Chain A
Amino acid sequence: MADPTAGAVPLLRVRDLDVTYPGPVPAVRGVSFDVAPGEILGLVGESGSGKSSVCTALTGLLPAGAHRRADAIEFEGTDLAALRERDLRRVRGRRLAFVPQQPMTSLAPTTPVVRQLRWYLGDRLTDVEVRETLTGIGLGPVLDRPRDLPGSFSGGQLQRVVIAIAALAHEPALLLADEPTTTLDATVQAQVLRLLLTLRDKLGLAMVYVSHDLAVVSTICDRVGVMYGGRLVEIAPVRELFAAPRHLYTRALLAAMPATTPADRPLRAIEGTAEGANLLPGCPFAPRCPQVLPVCRERMPEPTAHGPGTVRCHLASERVGA
């Protein structure tokens, strides 16, 4: 895929990533993208589109039986795909941090949260620094309950604790966040997003933010990648993507959003389902595409640069301004 950050050295460079789980259906097929230092890249898609698998594959934490193949997964100049598990551990958690979707299952359930914070942050920060930092992100009340176990805190507090550990325990250059706010309420989600952006500003963190929520992605990301049927079908700077989506799936997705459709016009749902899309030899969206061509069913379109973005669609160039 053409390098969207041409000129700058990317922090993360992924080329032609495939992920398969046992069974006939591939989860991720030929996904390539870059992340620049300090950049927030959003990955959006529906359930089963492979966005979480991309995230997990980058950490090397795929479950047993899953298989990862890539031409390159270069992170800070090191090819993660070639590293042995032992060497990968020096990178993961230190330079490459991961925030999972479920904060409840990420902390030890029978150890007080404050003691766990000391495990992870105690080496690098003094108690006073820990208090200053956590108070700054609204976690002061957690430190005032030194004996309380994870179970007695709310999901929003735990998610912020997990993010604080991921971002502060070492000096990560890249934070992978897999649906970090999906289980949270709107007012708490706003606090977590604020925390992530604060960390980005303070520490210069880059982020891969996986979400199915286009609205969240539209407000926090610099660039957005759209996944469908295991393929990355379009990647573009966020304003371009929302103002002038090129791929027909992206267009259909935006047209189906209540917030982008005037109240007096019906929403346009996408006919059909994504089922089986991961197995198609051509464009995964072809069966549901309103302008499908015979070639779409036969061959996956090659990535083509359009302005600052990259699209994989046979029709993208003809439809400019359509």
Chain B
Amino acid sequence: MSALLDVRGLTRRFTLPRPFGRRTAPRVVHAVEDVSFEVAAGEVLAVVGESGCGKTTVARVLAGLDTATSGTVALAGRELTGGRTPADQRLIQLVTQNPRAAFNRRRTLRHALDQPLRVHGLGAGRAERDALVAEMVERVGLSTEHLDRLPGELSGGELARLVLARALLVRPRVLVLDEPTASLDASVKATVVDLLLRLRAESDLAIVVITHEIDIARRLADRAAVMYLGRVVELGPAASVLARPRHPYPRLLLASVPVPDPERIGPASAADFGAGAIGEVPSALDPPSGCAFHPRCALATEVCAERRPAREVLDDVEVACHHPG
């Protein structure tokens, strides 16, 4: 098998606590349903979708912070089970959304970056660990002076780079980034995007980027998966999926994201958004029958409400739709 990370039929359902005193059937949130994808070494997969589509749950299951209801996560042909050993835990590292919330505010960054090395027993002694930390800090474009400061003394962009440095220190095979740029200002986003592109070029990491920012995904990803209500509706090369999608949902999503296209800049009228969305993402508690997108879909027919479309290969992409464009 060529793929480094192989995810098959991943499903995660959350059972809600029964309301007090009611004898109703327990309610189930279908957060992730039958998600499958592969990521090769040196490849970036973007997972794109709106809030509530299950993309963060995918990230948590990949990193071993949550256990799948069913389905498997395999790394280099070996299945990683839910309760992971520390050695397995090290192989898939998760970088969470807000870098400000990712560090202990009362300890220096040297402490923060030393911790994972100690936990995983990497680096023979203090001196060797310090050298590893210093090397990594320079690799993400910062200097060792930053290490003696507290998180509050650094900017959002510097912290974002240090979160990455901390994840990379334990030499993972897979990096999972959950909204790496969502909380950053426009001028700082570029720093993180360029750093990720450089890291990809100089290592053979498999990277999964979870994001709702289409322009960031276009920039970073080799391949892209679009999720809607827990399922992957389209998967394929980013150049196809994020430019000329075949499924109506990614089409709607792309049409909804304003892009400062030099041709289209300028005062719009309401009609420019007219072809856009109807309704909102329904609840994952009670997903619509058949294709979950059919109540919002302009192309929906009877079959869409009755039968869930299977994933089919169309040219270079896989699409789950009865009426792909």
Contact = CB atoms under 8 A, between A and B. Distances in A.
Interface in B187-243: 187-191, 193-194, 197, 212, 214-216, 218-219
Contacts of A168: none
Nearest to B191: A269
Interface stretch (A58-66, A110-118, A214-222): A214-222
Contact of A239 (B259, B266, B268): B266
Contact of B188 (A201, A215, A260, A269): A269
Interface in B138-188: 155, 157-158, 185-188
A269 B212 contact: no
Nearest to A242: B265
Residue of A156, A216, A257, A268 ringed by the most chain B CB atoms within 10 A: A257
B273 to A, nearest CB: 4
A266 B201 CA distance: 13
A216 B258 contact: yes
B195 to A, nearest CB: 9
B258 A46 contact: no
A320 B270 CA distance: 34
Give the contact-size bracket for chain B.
35 or more
A194 B274 contact: yes
Interface residues of A, number: 50
Given A194-B274, A263-B219, A187 B267 contact: no
Interface stretch (B61-69, B275-283, B309-317): B275-283
B277 A190 contact: yes
Nearest to A256: B190
B302 interface: no
B114 interface: no
Nearest to B53: A185
Contacts of A215: 215, 257-260
Interface in A125-142: 138
Contact of A256 (B186, B268, B272): B186
B51 interface: yes
B262 interface: yes
Contacts of B278: 138
A175 to B, nearest CB: 15
Contacts of B191: 269
Contacts of B270: 194-195, 197-198, 201
A189 B193 contact: no
A194 B273 contact: yes
Contacts of B158: 273
Contacts of B23: none
Contact of B269 (A195, A201, A212, A270): A201
Given A40-B267, A218-B260, A219-B264, A185 B281 contact: yes
Contact of B185 (A189, A212, A222): A212
Contact of A187 (B253, B261, B272): B253
A243 interface: yes
Given A154-B280, A187-B277, A215-B260, A46 B265 contact: no
Interface string A173-205: 000000000000111111101110110010000
B155 A186 contact: no
B185 A220 contact: no
22 contacts: A185-B50, A186-B50, A186-B257, A187-B50, A189-B256, A190-B273, A194-B270, A197-B268, A197-B269, A197-B272, A218-B266, A219-B264, A219-B266, A220-B258, A243-B265, A258-B215, A258-B219, A263-B219, A267-B193, A269-B188, A269-B191, A270-B188
In the A-B complex, list the 6 residue pairs whose CB atoms are closest, starting with the nearest. Answer: A267-B190, A269-B190, A194-B273, A190-B256, A197-B270, A187-B277
Interface of B: 50-51, 155, 157-158, 185-191, 193-194, 197, 212, 214-216, 218-219, 252-253, 255-262, 264-270, 272-274, 276-281
Given A260-B260, A269-B190, 10 more contacts: A185-B280, A186-B50, A187-B280, A193-B273, A194-B273, A194-B274, A212-B186, A242-B262, A266-B197, A267-B193
